[in-house]
Amino acid sequence: MNTEDMALSLFVDAEYSLKEAENALQTKSYHRAVRRAQETVELCLKSALRLLGVEYPKKHDVSAVLKRAIIGKHIPQWFSENIPRFALASKRLAEDRGPSFYGDETLAKPPASLYSQKDAESAVEDARFVAEATKKLMDWWKKRDA
């Protein structure tokens, strides 16, 4: 399996997670929407990094490596201009990952009580944005080799 295949595999999983996030939002399972949105963003950004030949960290927030990774890389300007937004989404959603799974034990609150419709909508919107940009990057990547 080559780098492009690995990137595509990660992206396919990200698309599946995005569908789950959208479904969770529709069914008002807001904590699950946040959780799946986080997975979407993580997998998309790791897919983009893999495509660019950058080894990504084995952690949920890839914002720091993403910012460093684009230096000196030949990537479209529209993608590099959005790195701050991608990084912010990665960092914010990675912070929500644990609570969206386990709740807040110090407050004795389950995950479902921690997230509102607005939280879920924002998370899913970020996930869609990152997924669309990653798809566009993958299409650009394929065309540049053609």
The domain locations on the chain are: 3-145
pLDDT of residue 70: 73
Q: What type of residue is 65?
A: V
Q: Give yes or no for a contact between 18 and 105, defined as CB atoms under 8 angstroms apart.
A: no
Q: Is 38 exposed, middle or buried (0-12, 13-18, 19+ CB in 10 A)?
A: buried
pLDDT of residue 1: 58
Q: Give yes or no for a contact between 134 and 45, defined as CB atoms under 8 angstroms apart.
A: yes
The CB density around residue 145, as the number of other CB atoms within 10 Å, is 6
Q: Nearest-CA neighbor of 126 among 52, 46, 18?
A: 18
pLDDT of residue 64: 87
> Would you identify the CATH topology of the domain 3-145?
Four Helix Bundle (Hemerythrin (Met), subunit A) (1.20.120)
The CB density around residue 60, as the number of other CB atoms within 10 Å, is 17
pLDDT of residue 74: 83
pLDDT of residue 145: 63
Q: What is the pLDDT along the chain (146 residues), one digit of tens a residue?
A: 578 899 999 999 999 999 999 999 999 999 999 999 999 999 999 999 999 888 887 889 998 888 887 777 788 999 999 999 999 999 999 999 999 999 999 999 999 999 999 999 999 999 999 999 999 999 999 887 66
Q: Give yes or no for a contact between 41 and 126, defined as CB atoms under 8 angstroms apart.
A: yes
